[in-house]
Structure formats: structure tokens, C-alpha cells
Chain A
Amino acid sequence: MTKTLRALMGATALATLAAVASAETTITVATVNNGDMVRMQGLMDDFYAKHPDIKVEWVTLEENVLRQNVTTDIATGGGQYDVITIGTYEVPIWGKQGWLESLNDLPADYDVDDLLPAIRGGLTVDGTLYASPFYGESSMVMYRKDLMEAAGLTMPEAPTWADIEAAAKAMTNRDADINGICLRGKAGWGENMAFLTAMSNSFGARWFDENWVPQFDQPEWKATLDFYLNLMNNYGPAGASNNGFNENLTLFNQGKCGMWIDATVAASFVTGKDSTVADKVGFALAPDNGLGKRGNWLWAWSLAIPASSDAKDAAKTFINWATNKDYLALVASKEGWANVPPGTRTSLYENPEYAKVPFAKMTIDSINSADPNSPTVKPVPYVGVQFVAIPEFQGLGTTVGEIFSAALAGSKTADEALAEAQAAVTEEMKAAGYIQ
């Protein structure tokens, strides 16, 4: 009798354990390898303490590989991922396609109204929020205060391109291996074309007119490219056509750039422990040309749920945790305010503690000055500041990026590059059916 009872009790215990085990939901999160994402993976104990019934498995990939894998999976309805890390380029396109789950029903403590309007706007399609921003960024000028002072110049808080050229000229010292300015030159829609498209907005240029006709044959693009090439040829580093974010970061940290115009997220790197000029860096808004638009971009790495996920509730729970105000406080308590993912919430920039971070104000001012729905001076039929949110843009941007990078390398003139870009984009837009 006792034996039978023991056996029954044992069986019950096992069944209970099995039931508990089967109640656990596993979600797969696909993400990129950057400081903020790595930090989040280190803080998962907090999530598990609050949600012991959800297990998170990470797939960390290089940005382009992640984009390829996630696009393939989502387009084929694969359901390999429950949470994906995507940018402001993908969200409007994928949201419209019905590939993403709506996040309009996140709990009240998520406080959707606290999201920065510019960032929220870029992640919303027809009133539906399709992704929750994990960190947002714009671009700005990072400059060497000591070199500016030595040149007898002061960087305005909101410089013009003429100010930038004057500063680049004054700071260039080839004997000391100091380049007045470092900018992206490496070909790619997310590399040189992110910079040049944002820059062209401040020159009044646009990729397409209201009827989707390419505009590279217009004077605004010529002014943009001429200015960029002159600036880089006269005051930029050698071999600039191979330089992307990381290469310029290396040059700047080694004291070889007077200025660098790039992502606001770089601020924490150039003032960090790996920088030899950490205490000499100043920040300013991206330049303008007096036309009412600045040359800064807007980007947010955001978390979204593919429509094919079979663990949507658990995925929403995770997204709420990772992009909630409480998460920012958690990071601040463990790693300090300077390491909090920036650029997503209004409350962060109202926090007096965060206001002490040297690049906080410039980051929020840069983000607020970008408008993805009205990126340039003239009207456009597309959304996006440094990209055009149409599926064809990855290919178009890379093609034009290669042409402009070749112009920077000196293998073609600005006029030749613009004519080639116009022809290539026109052909592609005709093939895609946008124009006749």
C-alpha cells in the first residue's frame, strides 16, 4: 500500500514538473551585435526574475546577414524568429505588407505616448505601431575642441556647410597627419548613401519628384556631390572611399580627424576609454545650407514581432520589458546613465540625471530636427530621411553608392557619376513600374 502510494505521489510530482516545463515558452530573438544589445543580454536575469515562464534564445548576427536572414524568413512565413531587430527602413515596408504584428495593444505601463514623436512616426503605419524602438539615433558633428581653438575658430551649435568647410580647412595639417574632416565614403545604401542622402536634403535635393522621376540630373544633387567631393579631396583622409563608420571611428579616436559627421551613437565611443581624444570632443548639430533642412538622418533599431511567430504573447512581454521606461532605469542603475539606450523616450531627456551626459542634448536636438515624412525642401512621394522606404531602395542605394564612391576615389567626375546614377535609377524605376 505504502509502495503504491509512493509510486502515485512520484508520478504526480513528475506530471506536475512536466506540466510546469511544458508551460515554459521559448522565444527566439534575432538581433545585431552592438553595445546596447550586448548589454541587454547581460541584464536578462531581471527579465527571467519577472517572467520565469519565458525563455529567450538569442541569434546575434552582423547587420547585413541579419537583414538577409530575417527578410527571407519573414517573406516565406518561416516563423523562425519571434522577435526581430529591424530598422526604420524596414518597418514601413513590412508593416504595409502585413508581415509584422501590431503593437498597439502593449500594456499601459509601456506608455506609448512617451516615445519620441519623430521615432514613433517612423515606426507607425496608418496609425498602427509595428515596432518598438530600442535605441534611436540621428547624426551630428563631432569635432576637436582643441584643434578648433588652436585655429582660432568656434564651432556654432548649429553650423552651416560653409562653417564646416572653413573649419576643415583650418584644422587640416597634413604634416601632423590630421585631416580636417572624415566622412563616409564606403559604398552601400547604409554607408555613404546614408550620409549623402541626408546631406543632400540640406542642399534641397531629393531622390524622386512627386511622380517618382529620379532627380540626380537636377542642380541640387550636383551642388551636393561637388561640395562633398571638394571637401573630402581637399581636407579628407587618404583612401576615404573605403571608409565607413568603423574606419572613421578609428581615425577620430586616434586623433586623425578634426571633424567627423556621423551617427549620434558614436558620441559614447569617441568619449569612451578607447579614444585618445576623449576629453577634447565637442558636438554640434549636423550642418545646413540655410534652406530649412539639416543634413542629419534618423534611425532606430527597433524590436518587432513577425506575423508568423507562434509565441506572440511572450514576444510582446519581452518587447515591453526591453523597451519600457523601467529598462532604461535598470541600465542606469547597473551601468550608469551614459550607457542607457538613447533616443527613444521623452522622459529620458526630461531626467535631470541624464541631462548631465555630455551628448544627451545634442542627440535629442538632432533627432527632433529630422522629419521622415518631410525629409527635404521640396515635396517627395516617399518616407525616410537617409533612405527611401520602398523595397527597391536597398539595390538602388547600393548602386548609386558604388558610383559615388568611385567618384570619390577619382575614377569618374561628379558630372559623370550623376549622369550614371540618373540612368541607373531611371532604368530600375521603370522596371519596377513606378514610371513609364
Chain B
Amino acid sequence: MARALSHRRMWITTAAAWAVALLIFFPVLWMILTSFKTEPSAVAMPPQFLSADWTLENYAEVWARSDYPRFFWNSVVIAVGSTLLGLVIAIPAAWAMAFVPGRKTKDLLMWMLSTKMMPAVAVMIPLYLIFQRLGLMDTRIGLVLVLMLMNLPIIVWMLYTYFKEIPGEILEAARMDGANLWNEIAHVLTPMALPGIASTMLLNIILAWNEAFWTIVLTTTRAAPLSAFIASFSAPQGLFYAKLSAASAMAILPILILGWFSQKQLVRGLTFGAVK
């Protein structure tokens, strides 16, 4: 009886999980389907599915009209670069907060997180002027710096949570064996926290890849990533939904693939320390 009940519960939970997953994924699925439709079919009411006119023309036109590889490469450099730089800064910071906490460590962490609550547009003009003066406009290094700063609180928070799970005695033992600070962080702490660092890295690459405010405001041509690529296909006058969907699909596909293959690490990273 109990076994049947548990079986039934499992089915219900699985069905509910699928329903929620499909609900969340539906906009992306619809966008991908729309990218293969003709423009009239894309906006037809009631929406067309099986009766739609399918085509690959949108992808051909989007490819022909823009320099996709350049946008793609810029996205890779900016997303990976900002994440790696963030890790270099965040690992020592999180180490200090986790293993040598002060009276204000919690406050400091909260303050860092609170900077994420500030609307980006509030600092647009000052940052724009700083970028102009420093010659960072439309440069990949400029965007790497901005996105690193933007995501740094999240990186520090995630790493802090991981590091807190590592027993301090192990680091102490390393110190007893004569390890200096660098060796302690680089050769003891980092290898032990590698799964956590990997999931932090993945999540931040995704966040940086999807960023669409600073990447559009601070670039024109040379450093523009895929967010600017999508924006160039949006039109207030004219029906270009299918082409816009094709451009969006091309922009999210690389990160979707990355997310798919690394979902285990991502889930682990996001739920780490949630149940104790």
C-alpha cells in the first residue's frame, strides 16, 4: 500500500516537474519554432503550428545581413574573460571571508549583494564618461571589466558558500606543513572547491552572455556581442518577427548547449548548501 502510494507520488511529482519545465521553456521553444516560419505564418492568428509554412530563409538572411562570427567571438571573449577575471579577484576575497571572518564580514557580504539591486541606468552617464575618458568605449577589455564588476558580488557569494563547507582544519594542516598563503589557496583550497568554482564559472558565463544593457550601451561595432546582434533585428515598423527569432536562436544556441551539457554542475551549484 505504502509502496503504491509512493509510486503514485513519484508520478505526480514527475508530471508536475515536466509541466513546470515545459511552461518555463515554452517561450524559447516558440521562438525557435517561429524562426523556421515565414513572416506571415509567424504572426498568424490563431497561432500556426502544424499548418505553418516552414522555411530556412530567415537564418540565411540573418547570416547574410550580419557578421555573426564577429558578434559570437566578442560574446565568448567578454563572457569568459569577465568570469575568469572575477574568479581571480573573488577566490581570495571569499577565502578571507570564509576562513578569516571579521565582525563586519556578514555586513560586507550584504553590502556587496545590495549593489546588485541598483538599477544599471542610474550609473549609465558616469560610467559612459569614464569609458570615454579612458578610451574604453567599444572595447572588449572595457566590457570585461564592467561585466566582471557587475557579477562579482554573485561570484563572491557563491564561492563563500562553497568555501564555508570546507573544513578549516585542512587548511590549518597545510599551514602546519609549511604552505604559504598562495600555496594554501592555489594548491589546497582551489582543488577541493573545484566543483563549486566550476558551477560558479558556468553560471557567470551565462549571466555575462545574456547581459543586454551595458553590452549595447558601451559598444558600437568592434566589441559588440550577440546582444547587440539581436537588437539589430528588432524593428518597430515592419514584420520581422521570424527573422528576429532566427537571430535570437543563433544568439542563445551556444549558451543553451553549454547549459545543457553542464546542467549537473549548475544544479549542484545553485542548490549547494540549501539542505543541511
Contacts and interface: CB of A to CB of B under 8 A. Distances in A.
Given A62-B231, A65-B231, A76-B129, A265 B217 contact: no
Given A28-B221, A249-B239, A41 B65 contact: yes
Interface stretch (B16-24, B38-46, B158-166): B38-46
A4 interface: no
The dominant DSSP class at the B interface is loop
A78 interface: yes
B224 interface: yes
A250 B239 contact: yes
Contacts of B216: 61, 65, 69
Given A28-B221, A274-B39, A34 B238 contact: yes
A230 interface: no
Interface in B21-55: 39-40, 43-45
A69 B125 CA distance: 11
Given A33-B235, A38-B65, A253-B40, 18 more contacts: A28-B220, A32-B235, A33-B232, A33-B240, A59-B224, A60-B232, A61-B234, A62-B234, A62-B235, A69-B216, A72-B217, A76-B129, A78-B128, A244-B236, A246-B239, A250-B43, A250-B45, A266-B237
Given A72-B124, A274-B39, A274-B40, A269 B239 contact: yes
A57 B221 contact: yes
B125 A72 contact: yes
B233 interface: yes
A347 interface: no
A81 interface: yes
Given A76-B128, A274-B39, A265 B237 contact: yes
A73 B129 CA distance: 9
Interface in A1-32: 28, 30, 32
The dominant DSSP class at the A interface is mixed
B232 A61 contact: yes
B124 to A, nearest CB: 7
Among all A-B residue pairs, the 4 with the closest Cβ atoms: A62-B234, A60-B232, A33-B235, A57-B221
B125 A81 contact: no
Nearest to B233: A33
B132 interface: yes
B137 interface: yes
21 contacts: A32-B235, A32-B236, A33-B234, A33-B235, A33-B240, A57-B221, A58-B221, A60-B232, A60-B233, A61-B216, A62-B234, A65-B231, A72-B125, A72-B128, A72-B217, A73-B128, A246-B236, A253-B40, A256-B45, A269-B238, A269-B239
Interface of A: 28, 30, 32-35, 38, 41, 57-65, 68-69, 72-73, 76, 78, 80-81, 190, 244-246, 249-250, 253-254, 256, 263, 265-266, 269, 274, 276
A57 B138 CA distance: 13
Nearest to B43: A250
Contacts of A30: 220
A139 B123 CA distance: 39
Nearest to B64: A42
Interface of B: 39-40, 43-45, 65, 124-125, 128-129, 132, 137-138, 216-217, 220-221, 224, 228, 231-240
Contacts of B138: 80
Contacts of B236: 32, 62-64, 190, 244-246
A314 to B, nearest CB: 15
Contacts of B233: 33, 60
A64 B121 CA distance: 14
A194 to B, nearest CB: 11
Given A69-B217, A246-B236, A61 B231 contact: yes
A271 B189 CA distance: 68
Contacts of A244: 236
Question: Taking each of B138, B234, B240, which has the highest tally of chain A beta carbons within 10 Å of its own beta carbon?
Answer: B234
Contacts of A58: 221
B238 to A, nearest CB: 6
Nearest to B230: A62
Contacts of A41: 65
B14 to A, nearest CB: 37
A59 B220 contact: yes
B239 A59 contact: no
A58 B235 CA distance: 16
A57 B231 CA distance: 16
Contacts of B137: 78, 80
